[in-house]
């Protein structure tokens, strides 16, 4: 399938600079693009690739100043990165299997389940009693949707996803393969004999609209009430969200992060990979947490940036790191000063003796 520069510009509200009839049939990175490919440049570090690129069309920011002539047709937009993301979304819709509908003959759907229009349920999927599935939902092979669960319109469960009983998923949620929604929270009461008694986890997980969750992530059901993932949240692969946690809207969390029980994370936070957050604390809105940080206490001031373990102010941490790098030089200076002081003390001692 081919598209012209003018068609693309119309879709992303851009301005063509060059031949509006230039066509493309694929997308590629700027450094790898060949004739017939569409690419983009949003980061100034990649501007140099524009001048020698073989791409047919390149999307760039409208304020980009070029230093010479180029061969590709340009489409200038306000935000090249966002515009290219929109195009990839549309391209993915065309080449993917999201147009599938119907229920595979090997899938099990309980008689009491309510299934909306244009739904796809793949091979060996299991849909339990009293489940409610909205319109346009895609449930790929080997998924399990437990009793009384609810799935909103145009939500997509990739192969192997497990949604436990009574969990609720909103509209346009995407969950990638082998993720588990609603497994038991890690709750055990210590006994006098040293053993542990399991605390029943009778709550659920509530996921609001436009959330995307990566592969092999686990979100535990609440002990009571709900573990809540607010609208627009983006979770990477291999994340653990414990019972009764709440993640604020439009927060993004990178891989291998773990959040302990009953912690409340604010909206629009950015949490790096391998971050560990203890339970029962609050993380303020717009907080940024650097990768591999350990957060052991509440962050109450919005727009705070922290790093380290235990985590503390990011700018102060950078200053501390700078001092740490200079410690060997500082140590040598102290040794030299001590040597100089010792020599001066010896000279003074000799003068005092001679004066006597």
pLDDT tens sequence across 325-336: 888 888 899 999
CA distance 166 to 148: 5
Strands 196-198 and 204-207: unpaired
* Strand pairing class (270-271; 252-253): parallel
What's the chain's average pLDDT? 93
**pLDDT digits over 155-208, tens only?**
999 999 999 999 999 999 999 999 999 999 999 999 999 999 999 999 999 999
CA 37 – CA 47 distance, rounded (Å): 17
User: 3-95 adopts what CATH topology?
Assistant: 3.40.1390
Does 303 or 311 have the greater pLDDT score? 303
List the catalytic residue out of 154, 176, 243, 280. 243
CA-to-CA dists, residue 281 to 18, 20, 260, angstroms: 55, 55, 9
Q: Are 265 and 245 in contact (CB under 8 A)?
A: yes
CA neighbor of 220 nearest in space, from 196, 197, 195, 203: 203
Backbone region of residue 286 per phi and psi (left: phi > 0; alpha: psi in -120 to 50; beta: other values):
left
Give the pLDDT score at 323. 78
Determine contact, residues 314/295, Cβ cutoff 8 Å.
Answer: no
The two three-digit tokens of residue 242, written as one number: 């414990």
CA distances from 84 to 9, 14, 44, 93 (A): 11, 11, 16, 14
3-state class (DSSP) for residue 41: strand
Instruction: Give yes or no: 243 in active site.
Output: yes
* Residue 201 backbone zone (phi > 0: left; psi -120 to 50: alpha; other: beta): beta
One of 3.40.630.30, 3.10.129.10, 2.160.10.10, 3.10.290.10 is the CATH number of 102-315, namely 2.160.10.10
* Rounded Cα gap, residues 270 and 164, in angstroms: 28
Q: Tell me the pTM.
A: 0.80
Residue indicated by tokens 């373990």: 309
């Amino acid at each position: 399938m081919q598209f012209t520069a003018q068609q693309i510009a119309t879709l992303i509200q851009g301005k063509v600079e060059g031949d509006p009839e230039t066509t493309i049939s694929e997308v590629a990175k700027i450094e790898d693009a060949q004739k017939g490919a569409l690419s983009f440049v949003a980061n100034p570090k990649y501007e140099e690739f524009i001048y020698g690129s073989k791409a047919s069309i390149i999307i760039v920011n409208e304020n980009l100043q070029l230093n010479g002539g180029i061969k590709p047709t340009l489409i200038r937009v306000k935000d090249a990165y966002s515009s290219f993301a929109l195009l990839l979304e549309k391209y993915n819709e065309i080449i993917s299997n999201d147009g599938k509908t119907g229920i595979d003959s090997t899938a099990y759907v309980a008689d009491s389940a309510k299934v909306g229009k244009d739904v796809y349920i793949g091979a060996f999927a299991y849909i339990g009693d009293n489940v409610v599935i909205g319109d346009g939902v895609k449930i790929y092979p080997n998924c399990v949707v437990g009793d009384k669960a609810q799935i909103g319109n145009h939500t997509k469960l990739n192969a192997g996803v497990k949604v436990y009983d009574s969990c609720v998923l909103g509209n346009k949620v995407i969950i990638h393969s082998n993720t588990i929604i609603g497994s038991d929270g890690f709750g055990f009461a210590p006994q006098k004999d040293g053993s542990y008694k399991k605390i029943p986890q009778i709550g659920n997980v509530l996921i609001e609209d436009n959330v995307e969750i990566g592969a092999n992530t686990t979100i535990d059901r609440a002990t009571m009430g709900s573990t809540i993932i607010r609208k627009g949240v983006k979770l990477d692969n291999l994340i653990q969200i414990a019972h009764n946690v709440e993640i604020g809207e439009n927060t993004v969390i990178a891989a291998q992060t773990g959040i302990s029980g009953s912690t409340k994370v604010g909206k629009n936070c950015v949490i790096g990979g391998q971050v560990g957050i203890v339970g029962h604390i609050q993380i303020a809105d717009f907080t940024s947490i650097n990768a591999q940080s350990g957060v052991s206490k509440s962050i109450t001031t919005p727009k705070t940036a922290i790093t380290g373990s235990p985590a503390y102010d990011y700018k102060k941490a950078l200053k501390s790191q700078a001092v740490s790098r200079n410690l060997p030089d500082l140590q040598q200076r102290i040794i030299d000063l001590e040597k100089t002081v010792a020599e001066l003390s010896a000279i003074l001692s000799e003068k005092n003796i001679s004066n006597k």
